Structure 1
Amino acid sequence: MTTENQPGLRERKKQRTREAISDAAIALFIERGFHEVSVAQIAEAAEVSKRTLFAYFPTKEDLVVHRMADHETESARVVRARPARTTPLTALRDHFLDGLRRRDPITGLNDTPEIRELTQLIFRTPALIDRMQRFKAGGERALTEALRDTADAPDLIARMASVQVIAVQWALSMENFERLASGETADVRYPDAVRDAEAAFALLANGLATVS
């Protein structure tokens, strides 16, 4: 084996360990409840030491919310990568609609049992709700920077725009999640989810012309 390949193998092993720990934790949380499961029990189920567990996940909350970590700055990345002559809001709307088509869990429109159980776990656990609020705030900060850097938006406008955009995205996702939790399927909900998203982004467009 060459040294060139070793870093890749190490990273893949670390990723497998990380996933195994998180999978074990989430399975226990869903079965018993977030606060009823100790770190020691998670480590035992994942067949790692507590020290190893904390090396990957500094807090219990991290064991769950890391599944959404890539989404925290997603809106900012969409704005930065948008095609020329495409407004930030158009890029964000199109990306959200594409997420609905793909049944991306972050849109709330995914009714696979595993995703539904994980979402229910988050929204019935105050500690995880609090962590998601910090996640949301991080998304607002990242989007503010992206709007300021790529749309020449003044600081205040960029900040106000990002707060509104992220709030609308979360509201749309929560509406979809609640509809699915009440018994609708993702396929049945999809047309209304698209209409809701288009209406919400149209409302934003009327108030965010300064970042067009």
Structure 2
Amino acid sequence: MGLRERKKQQMYRVISDVAIALFLEKGFDNVSVAEVAAAADISKPTLFRYFPSKEDLALHRFADHEDEPARVVLAGRAEGLSPLDALHRHFVARLEARDPVTGLSDAAEVLAFHRLLYGTPSLVARLFAYLNRSEEALAAALDGPDVLASRLAAGQIVAVQRILAEENWRRIEAGESAEVLLPGAVEAADRAFGQLREGLGGQF
């Protein structure tokens, strides 16, 4: 990554971090785009060059993971390992790392962000747009001879990961610790990917 691209990525993070801090402090609906721009010391037109909507300011962290399943299939897969097995291993590894994207994190700042996300309907709706793009990228990475089969597989895989993450978040929010929940979360992931493997019939 060149210097210009690194600076651009840094600006994305700075603006998003400023916005999220304001959203957590005041509530998503109580913060204007103009207020975020002022706090980040940039103009509104500049802000919109980076983020096309207010929702994107909050969901930039998910944008970083948008093409992660596709990357796992294309670049992060050991020789001889099927795409589904690679995705399964990757998800379990992220659980063990307490990656917030898996829902298995009880860090205070992560819990606050998840409450903001799941408590704001417009953010939930926008999140599904990110998930749709994740499905499209994964379908292209699977690149099976049957395009529809690749799209169906990608949709199921992304849905399974979303449901597992939401269940982990629900249990964390109910008071369970990530440490205690980890074995059960790994078992649930194994079961879910097993069902996928059976349903996809070894195609992927």
Same-fold call, TM cutoff 0.5: yes
**Kept after mapping to 2: 8 A contact 1:88/1:211:** no
**What's the offset of the Cα at 1:52?**
2.1
Cα deviation 1:47-97 (Å, max 9, x = unaligned):
222222222222111111111112111111111121221111110100000
**Secondary structure at the residue paired with 1:211?**
coil
Cα deviation 1:170-205 (Å, max 9, x = unaligned):
000000011111111111111110110011111111
Q: Does 1:63 align with 2:57?
A: yes
**What's the offset of the Cα at 1:139?**
1.1
Tell me which moved more, 87-96 or 10-19. 10-19
The structure-2 alpha-carbon separation of the partners of 1:208 and 1:185, relative to structure 1 and needing over 3 Å to count, comes to same
Q: Within 2, Cα distance between the matches of 1:106 and 1:74?
A: 11
Aligned to 1:203: 195
Q: Within 2, Cα distance between the matches of 1:155 and 1:101?
A: 33
Q: Does 1:44 align with 2:63?
A: no
TM-score by length of 2: 0.92
Aligned to 1:136: 131
Aligned partner of 2:94 among 84, 96, 99: 99
Aligned residues: 203
User: CA RMSD of the aligned region, Å?
Assistant: 1.7
Runs of 5+ consecutive residues of structure 1 not aligned to the other structure: 1-6
Cα deviation 1:138-194 (Å, max 9, x = unaligned):
11111111112xxx3411211111111111110000000111111111111111101
Q: Which runs of 4+ in 1 moved over 4 A?
A: 7-13
Q: Within 2, Cα distance between the matches of 1:93 and 1:160?
A: 17
Aligned to 1:4: none
Q: Within 2, Cα distance between the matches of 1:202 and 1:9?
A: 43
The structure-2 alpha-carbon separation of the partners of 1:136 and 1:10, relative to structure 1 and needing over 3 Å to count, comes to closer
Aligned partner of 1:170 among 162, 166, 170: 162
The structure-2 alpha-carbon separation of the partners of 1:190 and 1:50, relative to structure 1 and needing over 3 Å to count, comes to same
**Kept after mapping to 2: 8 A contact 1:87/1:211:** no
Equivalent positions of 1:146-185 (< 5 A) are 146-148=141-143, 152-185=144-177
**What's the offset of the Cα at 1:119?**
1.5
Aligned to 2:104: 109
Runs of 5+ consecutive residues of structure 2 not aligned to the other structure: none
Query: Identity of counterpart residues, as a percentage?
Result: 49
TM-score by length of 1: 0.89
**Kept after mapping to 2: 8 A contact 1:153/1:211:** no
